[in-house]
Amino acid sequence: MRRFPLAGLLLISLLAALPLSAIQAQRAANNTSTTASARATAKASSAPVALSAATLEAAETITAARLKEHLYVVASDEMAGRNTPSPGLDATAKYIADKMAALKLKPGGDKGTYFQRIELESFKADPSKTSAEFQGRVLKYGDDFLTGNASGEAAGSLVYAGHGYVVKSKKVDAYRGLDVRGKIIVVSSGVLPEGVARGELKGKAGEGNWEDAASYARKNGAAGLVIIPRNLERVFRIARYLNNTGSDSFKPTRLEASATEGVPTLIPSAEIAKLLFDREQVTGEELIRNINARQPGAAFALDTNKRLSFKVTSNTKTATTQNVVALLEGSDSSLKKEYVAFGAHYDHVGVGRADKNGDKIYNGADDDGSGTVSLLALAEAFARGPRPKRSLLFIWHTGEEKGLWGSEYYTEYPTVPLKQIVAQFNIDMIGRSKQPGDTNPLNRDLSGANEIYVIGSREMSTELGDLSDRVNRSYLKLDFNYRYDDPADPNRFFYRSDHFNYARKGIPIIFYFDGEHEDYHKPSDSPDKIDYRKMERIVRTIFVTSSEVANAARRPLVDKPLSDERAEN
């Protein structure tokens, strides 16, 4: 149920206390041109949409059978879970590109191809050549410490610098009165200075208004860096597991600072962290809480008699991955310079731990095979149907599961001007339905057969959200669930898929999502469990909604720009 804003509740209370004649008089007094305009706007925002017969006919070419045909290829064992990077992901990219070529959509990638290439680097410590010693105690890699990616050696006494930030505009300096030259800086990660929002830390550290611990250490001659994460024991446990799997941790080179430019970095176990802070007379989680509670002015030298030395030797690997990008040019000579964008991530998590049936391939049929094939179906329908006035931009993003790589890369290095993208429709998991009588708690939040979570439709543009509602009510009447638009939602889905990187750049978005379920990130997320009829209705709805945007006289108004804090959250 929609809650009334506080002002609305107060007005209702005041009116309830007035006699009828006073209420009528008040209504008459409020009957101004402004009120009339507001009423007209409200009426327009709820009015049905007159959908063209040609658009509806084109929408009907999107069928459950066609979606199923595509998905049994994309989520097949032959694609081996579509990890980033992997041969299976590359094969999926080729499948998509071949379909776009057959439709005669224009390549939107590099050098006249459908592929926007992304170079990757992996820096991984070599345990046999990585060592550490504290106060004469030889530390064991993987049990007592882990490391960052940068190769190098560090030795010296320790200084603690709290959160480790310098923010000039806020007069924040974690190192005030502290000489770090030749010393090892110890900082608590994941803690911002008091009064500093994430959105204020723009650009790269050290290139403008702010420094983080790594950039400060480089510039000021520190020997090395010790990082103590907020949830040290959990982070250490996960990092140790990832190191033990032998998998490579690739990062896009143009989005990440190269490890060759970094500072030798050590992450201690909780036990070793306690030894570093022995003078603090705290242990375990209490130590971590106290460290992370420190604010500016907390810098101090640890026991100068204590010395830490460590050596990091990293092995380097390189690879490439790609976004797949296709364009359909609009029919209007002026409006075709603007774009309606569609996005889905075609990667998943690859091959991993076997389930009880011995299956190791994480097929990712719903996450996000469903979105991947939905874009294919949309491209097919638009290519065959009446061409809209605005151009259409189809992007299959890579590396979403690694941290929204593909969408971040595209929005940093776009192949069309970002300012010309009027809206972005993101499809990430739309293929599953909660069955009647399902009591599995893992399916508690799974949407029903006629239901879909719609996220962010009014986050930046009331107009876009209203249009989405009107089209739905005029067409297939899906049950739109706005539960995850709540800013207090602990799942934070608004930040967890590729649309977020477009929203950060000022582009209004709509994100379609069916909810997490029992097969999320498991080998059992297979194409036989998909509700293809539900997918058909959702993709048709997206087609009709985006057609309205693509043919509108003007682009959706952004009346609520994303705040800096929300954009960098």
User: In this structure, are residues 428 and 368 in contact, taking their beta carbons and an 8 Å threshold?
Assistant: yes
What pLDDT score was predicted for residue 405? 94
HSE-up of residue 305 (Cα within 13 Å, Cβ side): 2
- Name, in order, each residue with C-beta under 8 angstroms of 506's C-beta and a sequence gap of 6 or more: 418, 460, 558, 561, 562
Beta-bridge mates of residue 454: 512
pLDDT, tens digit only, all 569 positions of the chain: 222 233 332 322 322 333 333 334 333 444 443 344 344 444 556 788 899 999 999 999 999 999 999 999 999 999 999 999 999 999 999 999 999 999 999 999 999 999 999 999 887 888 899 999 999 999 999 889 988 878 899 999 998 888 889 999 888 898 988 889 999 999 887 777 878 877 677 777 777 789 999 999 999 999 999 998 877 777 777 666 656 555 667 889 888 665 556 799 999 988 888 888 764 433 334 444 554 444 433 455 566 678 999 999 988 889 999 999 999 999 999 999 999 999 999 999 999 889 999 999 999 999 999 999 999 999 999 999 899 999 999 999 999 999 899 999 999 999 999 999 999 999 999 999 999 999 999 999 999 999 999 999 999 999 999 999 999 999 999 999 999 999 888 899 999 999 999 999 999 999 999 999 999 999 999 999 999 999 999 999 999 999 999 999 999 999 998 876 566 55
Angle at 151 between CA 149 and CA 152, to 5 degrees: 135
User: In this structure, are residues 115 and 395 in contact, taking their beta carbons and an 8 Å threshold?
Assistant: no
CA distance 475 to 322: 36
- Name, in order, each residue with C-beta under 8 angstroms of 246's C-beta and a sequence gap of 6 or more: none
CA distance 567 to 569: 6
Question: Crossing angle of helices 370-384/87-102, nearest 10°?
Answer: 10
| CA-based nearest residue to 406, from 338, 337, 348, 493 | 348
User: In this structure, are residues 435 and 550 in contact, taking their beta carbons and an 8 Å threshold?
Assistant: no
| CA-based nearest residue to 160, from 269, 294, 275, 267 | 294
What pLDDT score was predicted for residue 301? 59
What pLDDT score was predicted for residue 232? 74
In three-state secondary structure terms, 322 is: strand
What pLDDT score was predicted for residue 176? 85
Residue listed under structure tokens 């974690």: 174
Written as six digits, the tokens of 360 are 């190791």
What pLDDT score was predicted for residue 194? 78
DSSP category for residue 434: P
pTM, full prediction: 0.80
